Amino acid sequence: MNRQKGFLLLVIIGLVGAFFYFDLTQYLTLEYLQTQRDALIEWRRSEPLFAAALFFVVYVLVTALSLPGATVMTLAVGAVFGLFWGLLLVSFASTIGATLAFVIARFLLRDTVQSRFGDRLKSINAGIEKDGAFYLFTLRLVPLFPFFVINLVMGLTPIKTITFYWVSQVGMLAGTIVYVNAGTQLAGLDSLSGILSPGLIGSFVLLGLFPLLAKKFVALVKARRAMAGWKRPAKFDRNLVVIGGGSAGLVSAYIAAAVKSKVSLIEKHKMGGDCLNTGCVPSKALIRSSRILAQSRRAQEWGFDAIDVKYDFAQIMERVQKVVGEVEPHDSVERYSELGVDVIQGEAKITSPYVVEVDGREITTRGIVVATGARPFVPPIPGLDQIDYLTSDNLWQLRELPQRLLVLGGGPIGCELSQAFARFSSQVTIVEMAPRLMIREDEDVAALVTERSLPAMESEAKAGSPR
């Protein structure tokens, strides 16, 4: 924790500690407020500006520090200043205080929480970035959720501060009106629980859900308009058609078949897609072989004087294909046919939102999943099309180790292949246009690759060559 965070934390602890040490909670009770009501009203009449300013500052501090008593203070403001001026004062003071609590939580805790639990929070962060205003508005309208908890939790999310402020200002308005108005009737209040009846709470809940329901309704209307120009079939051949037999397509088809849906899987080339044939499986097999070779060159670290390993690069690549062949049955046509998937070999064409055409055959379907994957990007370098360059697709056809290898791209694939070929003693050069390797990955991972892996690759490449 840096000095600024440490100082702020000490200030907050000091203020909260002083609040409880001097037992200031006694002044924020309904009983105390009822006994002092007339005196407070008289004080406001004699010094209206000072009274308003003091109430405003205290309210902001109570809310910002998440101290108990905001509800009683709202009643007090209503009793002392009336509905109109009380509503104006509380509305801005509560929002400013809530925003300060939000900013404090963000400053002190967000970086730590996101760094430790970022992977688990990805879906939540994505939802907040997309619909954070709607979620916050709903929470503000429903008095079942403690507002101080909302302030602190929202500070840990990526929602913008200005969004938090204006949504809170609008969202808390209905509840503020109820409590300020109750304050004007302070003499007749028996308890805080009497302010909100079950019917009123239910009304707030429905009001809070309204924006989300309205958004879903608008999306439904837009979807219906988009589909209005297409004729919906009277019946469907399939519940789902999946285009692409790679990882995403296979999982989609598997899940659909597991719930007894009628599903067709269309693949024009090889089942398993990139992951099985040109990506995850062959690359990890090659890395495994290269790692064994690299470890043999560091025999002394494992307690050996030396380990002399002889290898044939062609045999290494044949082993890679063998590993692919061993995994292949898990992604095969036969396996998925046994699972109840209608596997079709051919090229698919979507002719309407309800129809997929395969080699002249039309299949009507309720849903379509497009999982066609991607292909290696070949940069428009002059003259590149005149040579036999390698990509992650045709690399696996190599049987002779290239003495020199230029890798365009310092992402995960480029770094993996560079490391593997360097271990086999190729002279590898990585070209990356971004300011660092692994530009899309976490900064700690990128630093580890740059500072440790690349120097290790250079030393391994110099340590030996194929026999």
Nearest to 344 by CA among 359, 329, 330: 359
CB 78 within 8 Å of CB 184: yes
Angle at 390 between CA 388 and CA 396, to 5 degrees: 120
> Please, where are the H alpha helices in 328-442?
333-338, 412-423
Report the pLDDT value the prediction gives residue 190, as an integer from 0 to 100: 64
Residue 308 burial by Cβ neighbours in a 10 Å radius (0-12, 13-18, 19+):
exposed
Confidence of residue 403 (pLDDT cuts 50, 70, 90): very high
Q: What CA–CA distance (Å, rounded) separates 83 from 71?
A: 15
| 415: pLDDT strictly greater than 60 | yes
- pLDDT tens-digit map of 170-223: 989 888 888 888 888 776 666 666 665 565 566 556 666 666 676 777 678 777
Spatial CB neighbours of 144, under 8 Å, sequence gap ≥ 6:
201, 205
Does residue 467 have a pLDDT over 90? Answer: no
Q: Predicted confidence band at 142 (pLDDT cuts at 50, 70, 90)? A: confident
Q: Which domains does the chain have, with CATH numbers?
A: 3-215 (no CATH), 238-370 (3.50.50.60), 401-463 (3.50.50.60)
- Residue 339: pLDDT over 60: yes
- Among 207-216, 337-346, 421-430, name the one with the lowest average pLDDT: 207-216
Residues pairing with 404 in the sheet: 427
Q: Residue 457: pLDDT band by 50, 70, 90 thresholds?
A: low
**Cα gap 333→419, rounded to integer Å:** 34
The confidence score (pLDDT) of residue 446 equals: 64
pLDDT digits (tens, 9 = 90+) for 278-337: 999 999 999 999 999 999 988 888 888 888 889 999 999 999 999 999 999 999 999 999
User: Rg (Cα) of the chain, in Å, rounded?
Assistant: 33
Q: Tell whether the model's pLDDT for residue 244 goes beyond 70.
A: yes
pTM of model > 0.75: no
pLDDT value, residue 209: 67
* pLDDT confidence tier of residue 466, bands split at 50, 70 and 90: very low
- Cα 152 to Cα 105: distance, rounded to the nearest angstrom: 5
